[in-house]
Amino acid sequence: MASAATVTRKDFGFLGNFLLAGLILVILASLVNLFLVIPAVSLAIPAVAILVFSGFILFDVSRIINSGETNYVMAAPGIYLSLSNLFIINLVQLLLALLGERD
């Protein structure tokens, strides 16, 4: 028996500008937090970055499916970068921040 996958037909192309603004916000907050080390901000930045890069994954996959993207070689790096930013950079940073707050 085959299981049914959950599929949405909604186009998430409208998220592009919001995701760009979120990425700029994360970068600026990270730069400010380098000088003003605030523990709450150190925990909030990775959490917001995880949401932003999850949105980028949704945006990129939606662009491939709904926009009829035929050049998959050019579309794949966008998804790869979103995944690498999500798992390598942000989750490690969040774990380090959580472990550092326990001391």
Count H helices, E strands: the chain? Answer: 4, 0
- Number of neighbouring beta carbons within 10 Å of residue 58: 15
pLDDT average, residue stretch 15-22: 90
C-alpha 2/C-alpha 97 separation (Å) is 42
Instruction: Give the model confidence (pLDDT) of 42-88 as tens digits.
Output: 878 888 888 998 898 888 888 888 877 778 888 888 888 888 888 88
Please give the structure tokens belonging to residue 6. 């959950």
pTM (predicted TM-score): 0.76
| Residue extents of the structural domains in the chain | 39-103
Residue whose token pair is 């993207």: 69
